Amino acid sequence: MKTDINLASGILVKSASKSKTLRILRILAICSIIFIAATSIILFLLINQISPDNVKKQEGKILFSIKFLHDKEAKIAIVNSKISDISKILNSRINYESEMNSFFENIPDGVSVNSLEIDKAKVTITVASNSLYAIDKMLNNFFNMIAKKQIIKSMTIQSISSDPTSGNYNLSIKADKL
């Protein structure tokens, strides 16, 4: 038996093998075109997502927010500085309320206070009353404060006067604080 017998003509055999090769090449070409197209589209989308313009826009937004935060930080630092300065002033301030209350506790009924000035070194008080007994009682209370060394260390009567039309007596005292 002869193995090299082929019923098809030689041209047909050659064209059949060429058509298989062409078919495979065409499939490979179409696959490579699809692959290249898909890769190009994916790269195009990635480039658009990470484009320099987009990055610059994001950089501008971030820089603006950082600048805004720096402005806010500066304002907060200024406010904190002012708050600490105010706290120092409030802590170093003398509590005049307790001193005023001490004076008002020693002023008896029937004596009205016209003015009371308290500073770091002196106390000045002006009172009026229609009774010398009430003024005397107030002066004795102030002398007791000096003896107990409460707030004042010495006292000077600056003036005492009477108003015959109203029947009131006016007294002005200046005291040195401890």
**Burial class (CB within 10 angstroms; exposed 0-12, middle 13-18, buried 19+) of 100:** middle
Neighbours of 107 (CB within 10 A): 20
CA 71/CA 54 separation, integer angstroms: 26
* DSSP H or E segment with residue 73: helix 52-92
Res 32 pLDDT > 70:
yes
Res 143 pLDDT > 80:
yes
Say if residues 127 and 114 touch (Cβ distance below 8 Å): yes
What integer is the mean pLDDT of 33-40? 95
pLDDT of amino acid 93:
78
Residue 163's beta-bridge partner residues? 168
Query: pLDDT exceeding 90 applies to what percent of the chain?
Result: 39
pLDDT tens-digit map of 78-125:
999 999 999 998 888 777 788 888 888 988 988 999 998 988 889 999
Site of tokens 């078919």: 23
CA 130/CA 169 separation, integer angstroms: 6
